[in-house]
Chains A and B, each alone.
Chain A
Amino acid sequence: MVTASEADQKLVQRAQRGDLRAFDLLVLKYQGRISALVSRYISDPGEVEDVTQEAFIKAYRALERFRGDSAFYTWLYRIAANAAKNYLVAKGRRPRSDASIEDAEAFDEFGLSSDSGSPEAIAMGNELVSVVDAAMQALPEELRAALTLRELEGLSYDDIAEVLGCPVGTVRSRIFRAREAIDERVREQIGGGSGFR
């Protein structure tokens, strides 16, 4: 089984060696969740953006000290939560709510995130969920099986190849084609920005 932290490992290692492109992919991956986390402390969207940006910059500067004792997202989550709290302290304000580190750990282990955004984001998220569900159901069986085993069961490509009785290269290709098909449907119905949040 490949967890989120294991999937991040290669990008994190390269980012630790100063590869900004690798860190950029990590930012793209986690910016939605981190900004949702920050918005639980801070209501102003402009401030949320500032604090989210600051959190990533702090994370990059501290990346050298990241030893991998916890998952990258858990570590990033702590930095972002502290950044939001410190921001409010500096402004002499109280947080809207508090967030627990269990949320981050639950995400890393189960892919679940309780981070909620604005009502618009929630509505957009709900729409996205239904579009993704419909796209998933419309996939050819062989593509759906491969993507389900990867995303829902968390199996590695080797394990999926064994389950499906096909070469690893075929698994890789099927998973990509499934993702591409879902993306195409999402872009048709929601739009093709860099994010839907």
Chain B
Amino acid sequence: MTTRDKDKEALSALMDGESQELELRRSLDSVEDDDALRAWWSRQQQVSEILQSQRSSQTGLDVSAKVRSTLASQPQFQRNPLWSMAIAASVTLAVVMGGQALLPTADLAPAPLVSDIGGAVVPVIGAQPIRASFDARPVPVSTQPPQAQGTGARQTAAAYERLARDRYLRLGAQHARAAALNHPAPFVHSMRAQTEPPLEVQDLK
């Protein structure tokens, strides 16, 4: 490569903003009194302008309206609202039943206990109090004073337990019927309906 070619190559890089400072100085020195180089630079600017004018611009294409109308005309995937109703009913039932199990009744309310070894026991709803023991095994502490655990109290507790069980079964059946009726798949409805005695059996009773 001749010196002139090197000068031109440096000018070419300068055109593209890729010239280093030292090279830029050399280019300016070489072009200063060289009309042929100045003419080369000038012609290259025009050629560059012609080439750059051929850059493809954006097509101006706008497909947004067609996309929007196409999407609007197609059925949209939507979650069936009956599903969320069934789920909400299940959660509500669980909360109601769970809450009732934890609620203290008047007879079964835990009373503050005093350990027979002098330690205090803090009552916790739904938890089995444990008395501290000096041997390896914890000793459960009764939540009832001995005098309150008579026959009458046991009968009352059993009655409440029956009432709670009946209520649980009734609510469960109601929920199953409601969920089956609201379910989008009919066969599930049939399956749920089988959990109750058939109609003719009920009539025979």
Please list the residues of chain A having a beta carbon within 8 angstroms of any beta carbon in chain B. Answer: 2, 6-11, 14, 19, 21-22, 24-25, 28-33, 110-113, 128-129, 132, 136, 147, 150-154, 156-157, 172-173, 175-176, 179-180, 182-183, 186-187, 192-197
Contacts and interface: CB of A to CB of B under 8 A. Distances in A.
A181 to B, nearest CB: 11
B61 interface: no
Interface of B: 5, 8-9, 12-19, 21, 24, 28-29, 31-32, 35, 38-57
A6 B12 contact: no
B47 A186 contact: yes
A192 B46 CA distance: 12
A9 B24 CA distance: 12
B18 to A, nearest CB: 5
Contact of A21 (B5, B31, B35, B53): B31
Contacts of A21: 28-29, 31-32
A112 B53 contact: yes
B51 A152 contact: yes
Contact of A151 (B19, B35, B51): B51
A1 to B, nearest CB: 10
20 contacts: A10-B19, A21-B28, A24-B38, A29-B42, A111-B48, A111-B55, A112-B52, A132-B50, A136-B51, A151-B48, A152-B51, A152-B56, A154-B55, A157-B13, A176-B13, A182-B47, A193-B43, A194-B39, A194-B42, A195-B39
Closest 7 CB pairs of A and B: A111-B52, A7-B17, A151-B51, A194-B39, A176-B9, A21-B28, A176-B12
Contact of B42 (A11, A136, A172, A195): A195
Contacts of B43: 183, 186-187, 192-196
Given A150-B16, A179-B12, 16 more contacts: A7-B16, A10-B19, A10-B24, A14-B28, A25-B31, A28-B41, A29-B41, A110-B57, A111-B51, A147-B51, A152-B51, A156-B18, A172-B18, A176-B13, A179-B44, A195-B39
Nearest to A112: B53
Contacts of A186: 43, 47
A176 B44 CA distance: 10
A139 B46 CA distance: 18
B172 to A, nearest CB: 68
Given A10-B24, A22-B28, A175-B16, A195 B46 contact: yes
Contacts of B21: 10
Nearest to A187: B43
A121 to B, nearest CB: 11
Given A176-B8, A176-B12, A28 B45 contact: yes
A132 B51 contact: yes
A193 B44 CA distance: 11
